[in-house]
Structure formats: structure tokens, C-alpha cells
Amino acid sequence: MSLSRDEVISQIHSALATVSDPELHRPLPDLGMVESVNFDGGLANIKILLTISGCPMRDKLKSDVTSAVSKVSGVEKVELEFGVMNEAQRDNVKKLLRGGREKFIPFAQPDSLTRVWAISSGKGGVGKSSVTVNLAAALSKRGFKVGVLDADVYGHSIPRLLGIEGQRPTAIDQTFIPVETNGIKVVSIEMFKPDRADPVAYRGPLLHRVLEQLLSDAYWGDLDFLLLDLPPGTGDIAISLGQLIPASEIIVVTTPQIAAAEVAERAGRIAHQLKQHVIGVIENMSAYTDPVSGAQVALFGQGGGQETAKRLSQLVGVD
């Protein structure tokens, strides 16, 4: 027994409810993206509203909608049209993404379930960004939902390390969608510069505002972990993070040299002063493994990570 036209249209709407926007990860009907559905003689005609005219995921959206609707009994062909949301419709999307609230930092809310890990170091060149990227990849591989914020305003390198240099977030007015790669959501100040080589000449108050915007204007969705690649040292960004997200946790990266460890300790101390939790020390570049003999060679000395961990443990009262 064939379905009536109204029954087919109802099933098409149900099928569309199983399709999520590739960037916002919300069902299309919830976002107000389904403008119209018509059915006549086996042909399903559907109009989808995009948040912006140059939507980078248009082809993916077309494929997902066509696949879902084609499974509806009675549908022989799917015809898809795209339009663009007006300002009021985009405002509704932004309100939905924020839960009806004005702009806020979701990770600073008391009910936030996201663990915020700030990857810190006392000096540059210790591999802090590499540690951030590898930690994010490891967490994502284990099934966690992970975001990375490249907060190293002057020395940003996360996009290159993740192979997404030149890519920019999708903007919905003042809200933007992080670039996603291999399941990791990424935001970097580099993505907002006209040219990658342009320097960033920001001072204290402006740096605080930039960090606040990157945290509040991005739609991160539901994350298990947000990793921040901090600038080296104990400057404005480190202090601002402690003010904006007091519950953030700090991982200190150092190298085996004792001199580097002494500098790394300062990064942990400033976090402790800001009432943040120092949850670990990572010693990078610990040793080189000889591919022939299998012996480990300490090219950069030994003991730096252990010394940093010992001193910071004494500071926070943990053995």
C-alpha cells in the first residue's frame, strides 16, 4: 500500500531531522535550515537555508540530505535548492547555539563539564605546541571530543602543525565555527590575519580582549577537553586565562636541562598564584633512541623534568 502525499512529506521531515549541519552538529530542522518540503509524483523538492552564502560544507550537506531523503518510501528523485538565511534567522541560530544567553565563555560556567588544560612553559623552543597537538590527537583517538585554542598570539604555529594553514573559520555574524580536522576543533589568531606573515602587535588590555573573544565568540559545541597552547613565560595571556577560566588546569612543558627546568618552574608558580591547578609536568626531548642498538642517548642532559615536578609538588603540597 502506497503512502499518501502528506505521509511521504511527513517522513521526509523525519528523515531531515536525522541530518546534522556538518559544522554546527545540530539537526537541520532545529537550526531552522529547512525552509520548505514538497513532494509530487516521486519527486521530493527541498529548500535548505545556509547560514552564509559561501558555506564551505555545502557539498557535504547536499550529499547527506540526498542520502537521507532517498531512503523514504515513494521518493524516486531528490531535488535540492539552497538559499541563505536573513539576519533574523541567523540571530535565531546564534541564540540556539548559546542556549538563549548573551555571549559568554561556556568553559567558565559552574556547570561546565569540559576540562580546560593550558599547556605552558617558561621559555620558548621546548616543544610546547608539539605537545599540545600530540595530546589533542591522543585524546581524540580515545574517543574524546577535543578543541584546541592557539593562544600563543605572537608565535602561533598550531595550524601548520595540524596541516590546516590557510583555512578560516566559518563566521555567522560575530559568532564563528572552529576549523575541524581529524575530529579536533581548532581556533588560532592566525586564522583571522590577512596574511600569515603579518605580525601581531598587541599589548596587555587588548591581549585580554582577544583571548576573551576567542573563547566566547567561537561555537565550540560540547567538548570533553579544551587545550590551550599558551605563549611561553608568565605574561598577559597566562594571567588573563586565570581570570577568565579560574578552573583551568596547567600542564608545564620543559626539557631535560636543569636551566630550562628552573625557568619552567615559574610557569607553574604563576598558575599556583592564580589559584589554578598544576596537574603535570612533561619533559620533552628526553632522549634519542639509537635505531641500531636501541640505546637511549640523553642529548640534552637529564633530570630537568623530574626537578621541575619535584619543586612544583612541594609548592602545591603534593608528594
Nearest C-alpha neighbor of 115 from the set 137, 158, 147: 147
Q: Which fold is adopted by the domain 5-97?
A: GMP Synthetase; Chain A, domain 3 (3.30.300)
What gap in Å lies between CA 286 and CA 151, rounded to an integer? 25
Contacts of 181 by beta carbon, 8 Å cutoff, 6+ apart: 162, 163, 164
pLDDT (tens place) for every residue of the chain, 319 residues total: 578 888 889 999 999 999 998 888 889 998 899 999 999 988 999 999 988 777 778 888 999 999 999 999 989 999 999 999 888 888 888 777 776 556 778 888 888 999 999 999 888 888 999 999 999 999 999 999 999 999 988 888 999 999 999 888 887 777 888 999 999 999 998 888 777 777 776 776 788 888 888 898 888 988 999 999 998 887 788 888 988 998 899 999 999 988 888 888 888 888 888 888 899 999 999 888 988 998 888 888 888 888 888 888 888 766 5
Question: Cell for 199?
Answer: 605580525
pLDDT at residue 105, rounded to an integer: 87
Phi, psi of 45 (to 5 degrees): -110, 120
Q: How many CB atoms lie within 10 A of CB 200?
A: 16
pLDDT at residue 46, rounded to an integer: 93
Give the 3-state secondary structure of residue 291: coil
pLDDT at residue 318, rounded to an integer: 63
pLDDT at residue 132, rounded to an integer: 96
Measure CA of the first residue to CA of the last residue in the chain; give whole Å: 73
Q: Where in the chain is the domain with CATH 3.30.300.130?
A: 5-97
Give the 3-state secondary structure of residue 156: coil
Is 131 in contact with 120 (CB distance < 8 Å)? no
Q: Where in the chain is the domain with CATH 3.40.50.300?
A: 106-316
pLDDT at residue 194, rounded to an integer: 73
pLDDT at residue 257, rounded to an integer: 87
DSSP state of 124: S
Question: Of 3.40.1350.10, 1.10.760.10, 3.40.50.300, 3.40.50.11290, which CATH number belongs to 106-316?
Answer: 3.40.50.300
CA distances from 298 to 124, 255, 261 (A): 20, 11, 15
pLDDT at residue 101, rounded to an integer: 59
